Structure 1
Amino acid sequence: EERQANGICPFGWVHYGRRCFTYQANHMDWASAEKHCLKLGGHLVSIHNRNEQDLVRALIRAHDYSENLSWIGLSNCEKKRSFFWSDGTKYDYAPWAPNEPNFQRDECCVHMNYGDRKGWNDYPCDRIHPFVC
């Protein structure tokens, strides 16, 4: 996501609240996806309420009808069981899939659209997926 400075989102981005969002179909590992978002002037998306969750899901669905796994900006690689957003905002909303996060070995990055409920899941950061900035 990108913070908008002048009320206008870049071409191809979706405006919501005071932020801009874009789906990136190219598959990358979590760190490469964050770097790509930084090059675009933003970060991997942070999600803070149900409305934002619904917007991001709809954005993914518009490009990927199957709603496959997509990286978001949440991780806990620095300190196990202590999640943080790559954009520095507060971790205050968490629609995890059932029995997640499970904190299994090497699972410290987070994707959405996991399982029947399309919830969040902790996952190995080196896997490649599309993502939302």
Structure 2
Amino acid sequence: MVSYSSYVLIAAAALLATCYALPKYPAIPGLPGIPRLSGRDDLKGQTRLSGFREASGSLVGPPRKQLTCPQGLPNSLNTELHKVLVNLKHRLSRLKGVLVLKEKIREVGEKILASNGEKVDFASALASCENARGTLATPMNEEENKAIMGIVKKYNRYAYLGIREGEDSGQFKYLNGTPVNYTKWHQNEPNGKRTEKCVEMYTDGNWNDKKCNLSRLTVCEF
């Protein structure tokens, strides 16, 4: 739901800005929508097109009417849209506060963490998070690791993390393929020797490499 509000705000901003982004030049005759430029511009003295001309110097083709765009929204509609966005942000903020209070979600830095309480294999957990427009929880530092651990302890179940073993044995990477830059391995871990390619978090926050086909708690980040 929080991610959805971001889409709404971005869409509204794009709606208000679209008309102002159009070029303020007349179109090249015969080629509607392409700006007609003349003379030398300020880009390091490069000569720009001055339109297509015949040998006589007259412009080729009849002049075309330039397409124009209204300069923004009417004041009444602009004000109403602003009120709707402010109200939406307020309602979403209150909803987020309720979810945090009931421990349905956890905030850490720019991330929001949540779990549906389901225990599934790695592939299913990842698919569930991606379907919700997120990904598997991936701790990038101690603060994020503690936040994920809070959810793991709440459900008292181990959870898969968004980390997998790469092609080289013992080299673990994030889901985007980059090597991990923060780890919290349990003593003597990882020790799977390419037989345990996924990573789970214990209820104490430590990590263990594990097979990917076991049932573990789904924890997503957004």
| Short-chain TM bin | 0.7 to 0.9
Tell me which amino acid in the other structure corresponds to 2:183.
Answer: A
Q: Which residue of 1 aligns with 2:195?
A: 106
Secondary structure of the residue aligned to 2:107 is strand
Q: Structure 2 length normalisation: TM-score?
A: 0.50
Instruction: Select which of 146, 168, 189 maps to 1:54.
Output: 146
Residue 98 and residue 112 in structure 1: after superposition, are their counterparts in 2 closer, same or farther (change >3 A)?
same
**Structure with more helix by fraction:** 2
Tell me which amino acid in the other structure corresponds to 2:208.
Answer: N
1:49-88 correspondence to structure 2 within 5 Å: 49-62=141-154, 64=155, 67-86=156-175
Distance 1:79 1:24 in 2: 33
**Structure with more strand by fraction:** 1
CA shift at 1:77, angstroms? 5.0
Residue 104 and residue 90 in structure 1: after superposition, are their counterparts in 2 closer, same or farther (change >3 A)?
closer
Q: Which residue of 2 aligns with 1:96?
A: 185
Query: Over aligned residues, Cα RMSD in angstroms?
Result: 2.8
Over the matched positions of the two proteins, sequence identity in percent amounts to 25
Q: Greater RCO between the two (CA within 8 Å, min separation 6)?
A: 1
Q: Which residue of 1 aligns with 2:216?
A: 129
Secondary structure of the residue aligned to 1:15 is strand
2:172–2:179: 8 Å Cα contact kept in structure 1? no
Secondary structure of the residue aligned to 2:202 is strand
CA shift at 1:53, angstroms? 0.9
CA shift at 1:86, angstroms? 2.0
Distance 1:98 1:41 in 2: 34
Residue 80 and residue 24 in structure 1: after superposition, are their counterparts in 2 closer, same or farther (change >3 A)?
farther
CA shift at 1:3, angstroms? 7.5
Q: Structure 1 length normalisation: TM-score?
A: 0.79
The runs of 5 or more residues in structure 1 that have no matched partner are: none
User: Deviations for 1:63-92, whole angstroms, at most 9, x for unmatched residues?
Assistant: x1xx32111111115443221122556511
Distance 2:152 2:219 in 1: 8
Distance 1:75 1:3 in 2: 26
1:23–1:60: 8 Å Cα contact kept in structure 2? no
Higher gyration radius (CA) = 2
The runs of 5 or more residues in structure 2 that have no matched partner are: 7-88
Counterpart check, 1:16 vs 2:108: yes
